Structure 1
Amino acid sequence: MCVSAGARRLAPAKGQCFGKGRVMRWTKVLIALAVCLVSAVLVAQQRVHQNRILHEYFDGEVAPSSGGEGAGEASSDMPTAPPLPAVAQSTGELQPPPLSGEVGRDELVWGAEGPSPDARLEEPNGPLNPFGSSHSLDTRTDRVDELNYFENFDPSIIPFKRVVALNRFRHVRGAYSVELESGRKVQVSSGNLLRDDEEVFWGTFAINALPNQWLPIASVAPDQRILRLESEPPVPLEIHRDIAGNHFVMTQHRGLLRLNMQVAVRTDYFAGEFPDVSWGEFDGLVDFEHPEVSGVVQGVLRDIGVSKRQSPREVLLTLIEYFRDFEGRAFPEDVATDDLFKAIVDTQVGVCRHRSLAFLVALRALGIPVHYVYNEAHAFVEIYWPRLGWRRVDLGGAADELNSASNQASSIHQPPDSLPQPQRFLDEQERMASNTEGGPSEGGGSGEGSGENSESSENSETVETAEGTEGSANVEGSELSETAEVNDVTAEGEPVEEPPKRIATRLTLSATQTSIRRGEELVLSGRLSAADNRLMANKVVEIHVAPLGQVNPSARTLVDQASTDLNGRYSSRTVLPPDFAVGRWTLFVHYKGDEELDASSAE
């Protein structure tokens, strides 16, 4: 659960890159899971919405073609969306953002050149406009303290908003760079139905519209599908995407336009496992185009220990682990820079943009399609993999703090990370958590290679109820009575009467939220039961919070108390005070017990 407020100051996720920071007048809060209740991805029941279907266009899939990775040109033999009824189905518990004709205080205005100039915007990873954008390797490999990030999606995908995606490697006069390969844009249909393997996001944009202009907007994924599309004023418009999955609006309207769209994204884009494939399945997908540096790149790959004698999956995981083991620090003065790609990869120095661009060069030399993707605060990569599609991969390279603003995000999207996580990568995350009291990251889940270990204490059990896993219940008093040494004889030789053994109790905990802002209600419920099935009415249950990782009871803060009913059930609706500290928290409920009943807790 994330304790936050309005515009939030966010701890950067894995991969946050650097830039010159400044103190913002707008509200900062730390992005974090405040009371960290890990839950599975919920697939909401589909329901019917009265929906304004503005467009029904052919939905060309973004997939590699013989000319390079990305979306190919639309062709008549590709599948189209089925005819849609007047009422389209949508899904998800997320509420659509308001169709406001005003620009929010913490919102950027998008125009023909991307986000409009703003004193809060920085461009450490490249221009925030797909047209004519390029980015080159440099020697500014050290971190700085903070960057500013503006969210357009709910749930928040911080810091992985796609503003610019580049897909073509260039080498000119010794400079390694990446740019956008030109190609036809394809129209994207709206009014689609959600699939079982997709997740839903709402996006909202304030656009300074111009007639017949390509107006770039941010996206969640290159091949995202549009479920709903609404605008204020309700004018005709079209959504297009290019070969690298950059998205654009086309309209005849002139003036301020509010665009809301509900999009569906494959779950595998965030956390899909790379299947075992053959090198032949990549044939024709990438033309490296620069044989003059092929020898250098192949030599660097040999030094890392990879070659095409290994399987593509083995090579990929080895390279991900190697590039995640980079360090954001000053470029070594004693290292030659006649070939900057070799120097950066050999020394493993650089932040997100260095890692992502060098990684793109390495994989394209192997024939694997890669996108270099970035926004105002972070750079990462997307890899095309046969039988999987495009997959987002974060290589790390984080700033200490991220100042984030959002007019609508109510939760944080945190997919698991089963990719290799070397120690330096984990140390980087620990440093960020220490500096900012925690924050979300791409590596928030479990899986092979995951750096997250679920914490459990002795004498704890997972409590299952009709609502699912509710918490870990510790029978604290029973532990004491079983382990304490009791002398059978007093100093005077008198026998000591052993106190009667108390009845064990069990306490469960269920929370409806995974994040919360200060001033909002924290809604909890659960049940207290006894081993002898006695009634547990009118028992006091205390509700505590403690900073994540603080297991000492003295670190806990009492925030509320609740009384049980005849069936032992309790509920609480606690409003967190405005001065409640922002950060990652563990939530505890505790029953103290009495002369007959043992104490118990859940967290």
Structure 2
Amino acid sequence: MSRRFAKLLLVLLAAIALPAHAAGPVLHTYFDPDPAEDLALHATTADGKLPAAIETPSGVAQAPDPLRAPRNNEQTYGGSSTPSTIDATYRIDRNTSRPDLVSYDDPFIPAVTPFKRLFAYDVVEQSLELGVADKALVKLNVGGSVRSGDDQFYADMNVDLVAETAVRIPSVGPGTRVLSAHTNPPVSFQLQRDGAENWFIRSSESRRVRLVLQLAIGRETFGSPFAADASYASLSRFLPRMPQVIKAAGERVLEKIGISRAMTPAAAVGALVGHFRSFAPSDDRPLSSGAALYEELALSKKGVCRHRAYAFIITAQALGLPTRMIRNEAHAWVEVFDGQLWHRIDLGGAAERLDTERDPSQPMHAPPSDPFTWPEGAESAQDLVQRTMSPSGGSSRTTPAAGADGGAQGDGGVAVVPVPAQAPGAADGGTTPVDDRPASKLGVVLKNGSVKRGEPLAVAGRVESDGDGCRGVRVDFALRSESGKLIPIQSLSAGDDGKYDGAIVVPPNLEVGDYELVVSTPGDARCGAGTGE
């Protein structure tokens, strides 16, 4: 089927060239910033609102220029760029294969790659979707000072404000405090959070601003032992409600993996982390749905980061441990509460490569040592960072992929799957294998009246072969440009009846123009491949 997207307005600003020199005396001489000198002199930024540099366990971080205006070519949060505000929910998928490349944006200094905290969920609904138990927003206070044991960060991001609307922005971790907050251009605003510590900014104006923050957070959040004296009784008041049918499924999993309340909460957390870190990606996708899909994921130990975190939160809450699932466009992990502190815990399962940019003059965040062990052969998110940031492992932004907006990569590393352009064997002149499977037919309905870059596009349809639905097959989406170039977007999974219903996101860095939506499937053992245009 063919759907043509409306053209997006792109405003190009002409640069004004200034002469390299002019007559008269030199009134100012430029000196490169010296963070060490700024620290020694307790210097501030030009506006006097931020320390010019901060000393962190990761190294000396230099403050961003708070007077610089937002730029149109930079990653932007909020507005249509970060879909789903206070009502965001999460439903797991069956695509357990490992993505090769995911996009990621990090607005923090030091960079917390890939642990930018963008979406947090703390309750499991009857539908097996994850949500937020307490969606009421409360004010985030601004002010205070650095405490002993703190990590410090700057945040520097573009935000599209929407008048009288809570606009989602990222944070560095649970319990983060805001020491200073400013926008350019200056506007009146308030920072807010919900019960799962999702962050939002609210203003009476609709405009793009540059938001600069100074942040502090207890360093032990990023790596410290779970409290040995924690008890299930003391933790019970922090647990959200859990539907009995889901709790029963969690208890079945706990019984089969040998974890029970006979263990202390600290011991149980360690055992759970060991189990879910031993997952592995798989191209053999699960076929079940509902609670059975959760149990299949948890017991088969199949999946990438988001599957691990999703199954972990259900299992841990069924045991009696307050737990959250956290995700962004590239990675997913969990946080577990011991009565005093939320612990960030990486379960692994990251993509093979990360498409990101960073300032090499600024430090990368160096967290404390991981208090939990990694099974042999397992890879942490830190391994992904090292591959990406090494001289041979970095990747450029030449690959079309979704940006950091909770979109095409917004499920914590959903694979970007290229649409097959030719049959296997054709590329090298070999003989194309005979495919006896009946070809699949794909239907698609676009639910949105308009489409914008970085905004979710609701799609629904059905995949069938010989009149029967193709259960659980992958449905790939791509855009075809006027020149014929295919730009992969995202994949969804069909349900038991071959129907799919979800949202894909048009990459925010997509060039302006007319595009056709191309839908395809590689099929499965029964259903053949198929493409709809």
Deviation at 1:236, TM superposition (A): 2.2
For residues 356-410 of structure 1, the C-alpha deviation after alignment (integer angstroms, 9 at most, x for no partner) is 01000011112211111111111111111123x1111110102111000346971
Q: Which amino acid aligns with 1:405?
A: E
Secondary structure of residue in 2 paired with 1:263: strand
Match of 1:95 in 2: 62
- Distance of 2:180 and 2:321 partners within structure 1: 33
Relative distance call for 1:417 and 1:386 in structure 2 (3 A) is same
Deviation at 1:341, TM superposition (A): 1.1
Q: Which amino acid aligns with 1:234?
A: P
- Distance of 2:356 and 2:234 partners within structure 1: 41
Choose from 245, 252, 265 the match for 1:312.
265
Deviation at 1:424, TM superposition (A): 3.2
Relative distance call for 1:326 and 1:383 in structure 2 (3 A) is same
- Distance of 1:165 and 1:427 partners within structure 2: 20
- Distance of 1:336 and 1:217 partners within structure 2: 32
For residues 482-523 of structure 1, the C-alpha deviation after alignment (integer angstroms, 9 at most, x for no partner) is xxxxxxxxxxxxxxxxxxxxxxxxxxxxxxxxxxxxxxxxxx
Relative distance call for 1:45 and 1:193 in structure 2 (3 A) is farther
Q: Which amino acid aligns with 2:181?
A: L
Relative distance call for 1:154 and 1:336 in structure 2 (3 A) is closer
For structure 1, which segment, 243-252 or 324-333, has the greater mean C-alpha deviation from structure 2 after superposition? 324-333
Choose from 180, 190, 205 the match for 2:157.
205
- Distance of 2:301 and 2:158 partners within structure 1: 40
Deviation at 1:151, TM superposition (A): 1.1
Choose from 338, 344, 348 the match for 1:392.
344
**Are 2:350 and 2:380, in contact at CA under 8 Å, matched by a contact in 1?**
no
Q: Are 1:164 and 2:119 counterparts?
A: yes
Relative distance call for 1:249 and 1:398 in structure 2 (3 A) is same
Deviation at 1:281, TM superposition (A): 1.3
Larger RCO of the pair (alpha carbons < 8 Å, separation 6+) = 1
Q: Are 1:381 and 2:340 counterparts?
A: no
Q: Which amino acid aligns with 2:246?
A: V
Match of 1:340 in 2: 293
Secondary structure of residue in 1 paired with 2:129: strand
Choose from 98, 103, 113 the match for 1:148.
103
Deviation at 1:113, TM superposition (A): 4.6
- Distance of 1:220 and 1:428 partners within structure 2: 15
- Distance of 1:362 and 1:210 partners within structure 2: 38
Q: Are 1:246 and 2:201 counterparts?
A: no
- Distance of 2:382 and 2:177 partners within structure 1: 32
Q: Are 1:233 and 2:185 counterparts?
A: yes
- Distance of 1:273 and 1:412 partners within structure 2: 23
Deviation at 1:429, TM superposition (A): 7.9
* 1:62-77 paired onto structure 2 within 5 Å: none
For residues 429-471 of structure 1, the C-alpha deviation after alignment (integer angstroms, 9 at most, x for no partner) is 879978986879xxxxxxxxxxxxxxxxxxxxxxxxxxxxxxx
Deviation at 1:205, TM superposition (A): 1.4
Secondary structure of residue in 1 paired with 2:377: helix
**Are 1:97 and 1:408, in contact at CA under 8 Å, matched by a contact in 2?**
no
Deviation at 1:196, TM superposition (A): 1.0
Q: Are 1:180 and 2:132 counterparts?
A: yes
| Higher CA-based Rg | 1
Choose from 290, 293, 302 the match for 2:255.
302
- Distance of 1:250 and 1:308 partners within structure 2: 43
Q: Are 1:267 and 2:227 counterparts?
A: no
Q: Are 1:112 and 2:79 counterparts?
A: yes
Q: Which amino acid aligns with 1:402?
A: L
Structure 1: gaps of 5 or more residues = 1-43, 55-86, 116-127, 441-603
- Distance of 1:314 and 1:320 partners within structure 2: 10
Q: Which amino acid aligns with 1:269?
A: T
Secondary structure of residue in 1 paired with 2:126: strand
Percent identity, aligned pairs only, is: 25
Secondary structure of residue in 2 paired with 1:171: coil
- Distance of 2:389 and 2:61 partners within structure 1: 28
**Are 2:114 and 2:385, in contact at CA under 8 Å, matched by a contact in 1?**
no
Deviation at 1:241, TM superposition (A): 1.1
The TM-score normalised by the length of structure 1 is: 0.53
Relative distance call for 1:210 and 1:335 in structure 2 (3 A) is closer
Q: Which amino acid aligns with 2:357?
A: A
How many residue pairs end up in the alignment? Answer: 348
Match of 2:277 in 1: 324
Q: Which amino acid aligns with 2:256?
A: D
Relative distance call for 1:384 and 1:254 in structure 2 (3 A) is same
Relative distance call for 1:96 and 1:347 in structure 2 (3 A) is same
- Distance of 2:148 and 2:215 partners within structure 1: 14
Match of 1:223 in 2: 175
- Distance of 2:235 and 2:242 partners within structure 1: 16
For structure 1, which segment, 143-152 or 431-440, has the greater mean C-alpha deviation from structure 2 after superposition? 431-440
* 1:351-430 paired onto structure 2 within 5 Å: 351-387=304-340, 389-406=341-358, 410-415=362-367, 416-426=369-379
Q: Are 1:131 and 2:83 counterparts?
A: no
- Distance of 1:405 and 1:149 partners within structure 2: 8
Relative distance call for 1:222 and 1:409 in structure 2 (3 A) is farther
- Distance of 2:237 and 2:43 partners within structure 1: 43
For residues 56-92 of structure 1, the C-alpha deviation after alignment (integer angstroms, 9 at most, x for no partner) is xxxxxxxxxxxxxxxxxxxxxxxxxxxxxxx999953
Deviation at 1:111, TM superposition (A): 2.4
Secondary structure of residue in 1 paired with 2:248: helix
For residues 164-193 of structure 1, the C-alpha deviation after alignment (integer angstroms, 9 at most, x for no partner) is 111110132xxx221122432121222310
For residues 527-553 of structure 1, the C-alpha deviation after alignment (integer angstroms, 9 at most, x for no partner) is xxxxxxxxxxxxxxxxxxxxxxxxxxx
**Are 1:153 and 1:408, in contact at CA under 8 Å, matched by a contact in 2?**
no
- Distance of 1:161 and 1:328 partners within structure 2: 23
- Distance of 1:155 and 1:188 partners within structure 2: 22
Deviation at 1:251, TM superposition (A): 1.8
Deviation at 1:413, TM superposition (A): 0.8
Q: Which amino acid aligns with 1:255?
A: R
**Are 1:137 and 1:340, in contact at CA under 8 Å, matched by a contact in 2?**
no
* 1:14-53 paired onto structure 2 within 5 Å: 47=42, 49=44
**Are 2:149 and 2:218, in contact at CA under 8 Å, matched by a contact in 1?**
yes
- Distance of 2:240 and 2:381 partners within structure 1: 35
**Are 1:351 and 1:397, in contact at CA under 8 Å, matched by a contact in 2?**
yes
**Are 1:47 and 1:91, in contact at CA under 8 Å, matched by a contact in 2?**
no
Secondary structure of residue in 2 paired with 1:94: strand
Match of 1:190 in 2: 142
**Are 2:348 and 2:379, in contact at CA under 8 Å, matched by a contact in 1?**
no
The TM-score normalised by the length of structure 2 is: 0.60
Q: Which amino acid aligns with 1:103?
A: R
For residues 183-218 of structure 1, the C-alpha deviation after alignment (integer angstroms, 9 at most, x for no partner) is 321212223100011111110111222322212111
- Distance of 2:51 and 2:362 partners within structure 1: 25
* 1:273-284 paired onto structure 2 within 5 Å: 273-276=225-228, 277-284=230-237
Secondary structure of residue in 2 paired with 1:283: helix
